[in-house]
Amino acid sequence: MLVPVAFASRGIARASVPLCSLELQDDFGRGHAHLSWFLEDGDLAVYQVGTWLVDNVEVGDGTPARYRFCRVDCTQINFTTDCEHGLVRGTAAHIGNDGSTFTLDEEDEIQFGPEQLVARVGASVWQDDEWTEVSYALPPEMVAMAELSLSSSSPPPPPLPPPPSPLPLSVRAPARGIEVRMALECTEENVRQVLEEFSEAASTMFGCHEACARVGITGAIELADLDGPIVQVSLRGRFWHRRETVLRNARAYLLDSIPELCDVELLDPDEVDDTVIDPETGAIIEDRRAPDWNGDRATLTYQGIDPDSRGPFPTSGL
């Protein structure tokens, strides 16, 4: 059911219709300081669709950024001190072509993530409990968002191709005053040495680092066998990253350090699986993933970003 709702159009001053207060996410922060922390049922919310930036990283479906409006019906969001992830559920609000009316589509139930939230108008904007009439004039900023959305109503261009896979982990430059070592010979001792260096360089990937161990990352990579120019390794413990990513980066590091090598593989191919599934019931028998301690893995996956391209500590500074 479409419920027409009227508000004062831009440029019309009406003393009997006070201007509502608009809160912008730009003025808020992360976690408990995020604007989504203050959302209440009945609020009029503005959120982004298309393509936009999160922590200076482009997310979305590749189409131009557009604003959408809704009445907030409930929030399902988890917060930490510097992160927020989950869903805001609501009823779509469609802006009229004249820029002075909009309709609530009771049959169009929408949901979006807190990272899409742009602005909020408190629930007091509604004149009655049925949300059928607005008693406040919307601020010029919100009207401008409505006009921008209307001007962006042309068919979107085809979506961009998916982003490339993350590049192999780059080797840290040697400290000043330390000479760059020569390429190593293909020996078990050198392979173990390079694996240790790799574990130290990948500071968010392995459980040998204090910050990783503290949040449940226990993963390690070990030499299992050296068969001529082929290194066989084993993965132990729990990783925040996909085991496939760990193996790929280890392979790149080893091949760069020991040119005689031609490949790096797992001694047990099944070790690449992040979870072990019961083929009969589909239940997870063993979960080899470290805890999603700050919700970033789930949030990035929801945003359509490969979590392994960001790592587990993008905002914590650990």
Domain segments of the chain as ranges: 2-151, 188-309
* 91 has pLDDT over 70: yes
Provide mean pLDDT across the span 214-239: 94
Mean pLDDT of the chain: 78
pLDDT at 27: 87
**pTM metric for this prediction:** 0.48
According to CATH, the superfamily of the domain at 188-309 is Fe-S cluster assembly (FSCA) (3.30.300.130)
CA distance 306 to 311: 9
Provide mean pLDDT across the span 88-112: 76
Copy the structure tokens of residue 84: 């927020």
Long-range contacts of 281-288 (CB under 8 A, 24+ apart): 287/238, 288/237, 288/238, 288/239, 288/243
Cα 43 to the center of its chain, rounded Å: 25
Name, of 141-145, 251-255, 296-300, 311-315, the range with top average pLDDT: 251-255
pLDDT at 115: 86
3-state helix, strand, coil in the chain (%, to 5): 25, 30, 45
CB 234 within 8 A of CB 272: no
State residue 309 phi and psi, 5-degree precision: -80, -10
Each residue of 29-74: pLDDT tens digit?
Answer: 888 889 999 998 888 889 988 887 776 667 777 788 888 888 899 9
**Crossing angle for the helix pair 243-257 and 188-201, to the nearest 10 degrees:** 120
pLDDT at 9: 36
